[in-house]
Structure 1
Amino acid sequence: MRAIQITEFGGPEVLHEAELPDPVAGPGQLLIRVDAAGVNYADTHTVDDSYLSRAALPLVPGGEVVGRTPDGRRVVALLTGNGGYAEQAVAPERLAVELPPGITDGQALAVVVQGLTAWHLLRTAARLAGGESVVVHAAAGGTGSLAVQLARAYGAGRVIATASSKDKRDLALELGADIAIDGGPEELRERLIEANGGHKVDVVLEMTGGPVFDASLAALAPFGRLVTYGMASRVPATPIQAARLMGRSRSVVGFWLAHCLSRPGMYHEPIAELLEMVGDGRLRPQIGGVYPLAEAARAHRDLRARRTSGKLVLDVTGRE
C-alpha cells in the first residue's frame, strides 16, 4: 500500500511516500480502506518527537481516518498511535463510528479529534457555565473554529477570539465570536481585558504556550479557568507557583484527548452530538485545505507556518 512514512525525526522534510505491507487487523481491530486522513497539529509534534507520548521509528503519522470497512460500512475512526497517512489503516473497533448520510469526509475528520477536543475543553475541562466569557485562541484553526461555535451554542456570554491575521479574525466573527483580536503575546493581557469590556475573563482555551499562556493566565478573573491543550509555540510557559493561583482563585487545567478514549460517555456520545449538529447545520466545520497523500509534507509546512485555517485533509484516493 502507499503510505507516508518517516524514518528519522525532524520537520516536514522527513515525510516521504513509501510502499509498505498492508496492515492486518487483530482481535478487536477493524481494517479500514482509507478515503481521507486528517492532519492535526499534534502530527507535527509526532514527526519531530516533541509530543506528550514518545514515538518510535519507523512510523506512519496520522491519528484519524475516514473510509470503508471490509463489509462496506463507511466509518470515521480514531487510531491508537499512528498509521493514518496510508491507503489502509487498522483502528480499534470501539473507536470507529459509522457515519450518517450527508456527512462529508472533511466534516467527519473535523469532528473526531478537533470537534471532540473542543467539546471536552468546554464541557469537561472548563465546565463552562451560561453567561461566562470565553477566550478561544487560534480561533480560525481546526479546534478553535469549532470551539467558537460550540461556546456560542452552549450559552457563553461573550466569545472572544484571537487569531494572527485579519482574514482569520473575520472568519471567527462569522462563526459567532463577539469580538476578534490579534493573538500576539505583546500586551495580550490588556487586549483580552479590553475585549471583555474592561473585565477579566472566565475561561481561556489555550494551545500556544510560552508568553501567550502567561498573558492568558494573568487575564483570568477570580474562579477563572485556563485550559491548556497544546504546545504550538514549542516555548515553555513560566513555571506556576501555587500563590499565583491561590491569590486570585484561578485554575489551570490540562487536557489531553487520549484520557477520554477509555472512559464511558466520553467518546461515542459527544461524537454523536457533534455529528447531529453538523447534520442539521448548527455546527459548520471549516475545511482549510485538501492535499494529495503525496503532499503531506506541504500540509505540515503550511500548518506550521500558520498559513491555514480549519481542518486539513489528505485525500488518499487521488480524487483531489
Structure 2
Amino acid sequence: MRAVLCKAWGPPESLVVEERPTPRPGPGQVLVGVKACGVNFPDTLIIQGKYQFKPELPFSPGGEVAGTVLALGEGVQGFAVGDRVIAATTWGGYAEEVVAEAGRLIPMPDGMDFPVAAAFTLTYGTSHHALKDRAKLQPGETLLVLGAAGGVGLAAVELGKAMGARVIAAASSEDKLALCRAHGATDTIDYSREDLRERIKQLTDGRGVDVVYDPVGGDYSEPALRGMAWNGRFLVVGFAAGRIPSLPLNLPLLKGCAIVGVFWGAFTRNEPQRNAANLAELMQWIGEGKLKPHVSATYPLERAADALNDLLRRKVQGKAVLLTGR
C-alpha cells in the first residue's frame, strides 16, 4: 500500500510517499481501506514533534478517515467486511490502509460520501464537545467564533446555530465571512480591518458575548476575552496563529468569566460513553440536514504537503481532504 510518511520531524515538505506493507489488525482492531482522509491543523504539529502525542518514527499523519472495512481482528463485533465506516486514528490516516480500534469506528450514514465523511469527525466532534460539554451553550446566548471559516470554526458556527445561539463569526476576509453567513452566522467581524473588541461592543450593545470559541490564539485572544459578558465562558481550542497568548488573569476575575480548555482527543479516551452519545447526536443532526460539512479542496496522497501548506497559509475554507484513489 502507499502511505505518506514522516521519517524525521519537520515541515510538510519533508514528507515522502512510499510503499509499505499492509498492516494487520490485532484483537479489537479493524483494517480500513482508506478512501479519504481529513486534513487538520494537528497534522501540521504532529509531523514537527509539537503535538500532544509523539509517534515513533516513521509514521503517517492523519487522524480521521473514511473508507471500507477490509479485515477484522479477533473479538470484533458489530462490523463486517465491506462496511462503510468513519474512523478516528490520531495518526496513520494518510495511507491507503490503516488499522483502527473498533471502538473508534462509526458507521457512515446512507447518502454520505467519503470526502464529507472524512471531514466530519474531528472538527464537529471537537466543536460539539466544546459548546455542549465545556461551555454548556444555551439557546438565546451569544457565541463568538474566531477563525470561523476554518474547519473547527465553521463547525462551531453551524453547531451554535443548531443549538439555538446567536452566532457572531470572526474571520480575515469577506469571502470567508460570506461562507460563515451561509452556514448560519447572524453577524460577522472582519478582524483584518475592524477592531475586534469595539465591534463586539457594537454588536452586543456593550453587554459582551456569552461564549468565545478560540482556535486561533495569537493577537485575537485578549480582545475577545475583554469582550466577554458576565458569567461568560472562553473556550481555548487551539493556536492556529502560531503563538500561545499570555492572558491577564485579572480579566476573568473582573468579568466573572471562566477560561475553559477543550481537548476532544482526551475526552474521547476518558469518557468514551459520553463521546459516543455526542457522535450519535451529530449523526442525527446530519441526517436532519442541520449540519452540512464544507469540503473546499481535495488532494491526492502525493500532494499531502500542498494540502498541509494551504492549511497553514489559511487558504482552506472549511476542510481539505486527501483522496487515495482506491
TM-score (norm 1): 0.94
Superposed CA offset, 1:216-242 (max 9, x none): 11111111111011111121211443x
Residue in 1 that maps onto 2:311: 303
Mean CA deviation greater in 199-208 or 105-114: 105-114
The 8 Å contact of residues 139 and 163 in structure 1, kept in 2 or not, is answered as: yes
Q: Tell me the matched-pair count.
A: 315
Cα deviation for residue 199 of structure 1 reads 2.4
1:101-250 aligned within 5 A: 101-156=110-165, 158-184=166-192, 187-241=195-249, 243-250=250-257
Cα deviation for residue 60 of structure 1 reads 0.6
Residue in 2 that maps onto 1:35: 35
Distance 1:138 1:10, change over 3 A: same
Task: Measure the CA separation in 1 of the matches of 2:279 and 2:273.
Answer: 10
Cα deviation for residue 34 of structure 1 reads 0.7
- SS of 2:156 mapped into structure 1: helix
Give 1:106's aligned amino acid: P
Mean CA deviation greater in 114-123 or 244-253: 244-253
Distance 1:231 1:56, change over 3 A: farther
Tell me whether 1:75 sits opposite 2:85 in the alignment. yes
Mean CA deviation greater in 4-13 or 54-63: 54-63
The 8 Å contact of residues 102 and 279 in structure 1, kept in 2 or not, is answered as: no
Give 2:173's aligned amino acid: S
The 8 Å contact of residues 153 and 215 in structure 2, kept in 1 or not, is answered as: no
Task: Measure the CA separation in 2 of the matches of 1:225 and 1:143.
Answer: 18
The 8 Å contact of residues 37 and 65 in structure 1, kept in 2 or not, is answered as: yes
Task: Measure the CA separation in 2 of the matches of 1:285 and 1:222.
Answer: 32
The 8 Å contact of residues 160 and 196 in structure 1, kept in 2 or not, is answered as: no
Cα deviation for residue 279 of structure 1 reads 2.4
Residue in 1 that maps onto 2:95: 86
Cα deviation for residue 189 of structure 1 reads 1.5
Superposed CA offset, 1:257-302 (max 9, x none): 1122131433222222222222232211101111111100110111
The 8 Å contact of residues 103 and 279 in structure 1, kept in 2 or not, is answered as: no
1:46-61 aligned within 5 A: 46-61=46-61
The 8 Å contact of residues 111 and 271 in structure 1, kept in 2 or not, is answered as: no
The 8 Å contact of residues 76 and 109 in structure 1, kept in 2 or not, is answered as: yes
Task: Measure the CA separation in 2 of the matches of 1:186 and 1:58.
Answer: 44
TM-score (norm 2): 0.92
Mean CA deviation greater in 178-187 or 205-214: 178-187
Give 1:246's aligned amino acid: L
Residue in 1 that maps onto 2:73: none
Unaligned segments of structure 2, at least 5 residues: 71-80
Cα deviation for residue 110 of structure 1 reads 2.5
Give 1:120's aligned amino acid: H
Mean CA deviation greater in 273-282 or 112-121: 273-282
Task: Measure the CA separation in 2 of the matches of 1:193 and 1:57.
Answer: 49
Give 1:27's aligned amino acid: P
List structure 1 runs of 4+ shifted beyond 6 angstroms: none
Task: Measure the CA separation in 1 of the matches of 2:192 and 2:228.
Answer: 17
Cα deviation for residue 128 of structure 1 reads 0.5
Distance 1:185 1:256, change over 3 A: farther
Task: Measure the CA separation in 2 of the matches of 1:27 and 1:271.
Answer: 24
Partner of residue 276 from structure 1, selected from 272, 281, 284: 284
Residue in 1 that maps onto 2:16: 16
Unaligned segments of structure 1, at least 5 residues: none
Residue in 2 that maps onto 1:3: 3
Cα deviation for residue 198 of structure 1 reads 3.0
Give 1:206's aligned amino acid: D
The 8 Å contact of residues 225 and 251 in structure 2, kept in 1 or not, is answered as: no
- SS of 2:274 mapped into structure 1: coil
- SS of 1:247 mapped into structure 2: helix
Task: Measure the CA separation in 1 of the matches of 2:215 and 2:263.
Answer: 11
Task: Measure the CA separation in 2 of the matches of 1:254 and 1:78.
Answer: 21
Distance 1:268 1:15, change over 3 A: same
Tell me whether 1:62 sits opposite 2:70 in the alignment. no
The 8 Å contact of residues 94 and 322 in structure 2, kept in 1 or not, is answered as: yes
Cα deviation for residue 136 of structure 1 reads 0.9
Residue in 2 that maps onto 1:253: 260
The 8 Å contact of residues 22 and 97 in structure 2, kept in 1 or not, is answered as: yes
